[in-house]
Amino acid sequence: MIGLELTSFFCSKELDSELLEDKSTILGVVCADDEGNCLEVNGRISPLTANLAASLAQIAAELEPGNLEQPVIVLDKTDKTQLIIKKEESATIAISKQQSSKKL
């Protein structure tokens, strides 16, 4: 259930378009506090991802310090998986998803 709760935590159009693709599957979700401590983990994602996600979100926010909207970070991996990261208030969420192969 945590995957659905945390996924609904986001409202940005960028994240919605990344998560709601027809040909993808959410593998896991991790939530971190501002210090990178893992608050919650669900699915096939390492709790160690929490610290990485919090650090990347903090660095990305520093790229445009005047921007009120936190950036969405999308990391593509070679095995057709992506790690999507976004900071919201005092928590950072990382979602691991896998794209299914397209049928011709």
In CATH terms, the superfamily for domain 2-99 is Dynein light chain 2a, cytoplasmic (3.30.450.30)
Residues 97-101, mean pLDDT to the nearest whole number: 78
Place of tokens 């709601």: 20
Give the whole-number percent of the chain exceeding pLDDT 70: 73
Name the pTM for this structure.
0.76
Place of tokens 């070679």: 78
When the pLDDT of each residue in the chain is averaged and rounded to a whole number, the result is: 81
Helix or strand (DSSP H, E) at 58 = helix 49-63
Task: Give the start-to-end residue ranges of the domains of the chain.
Answer: 2-99
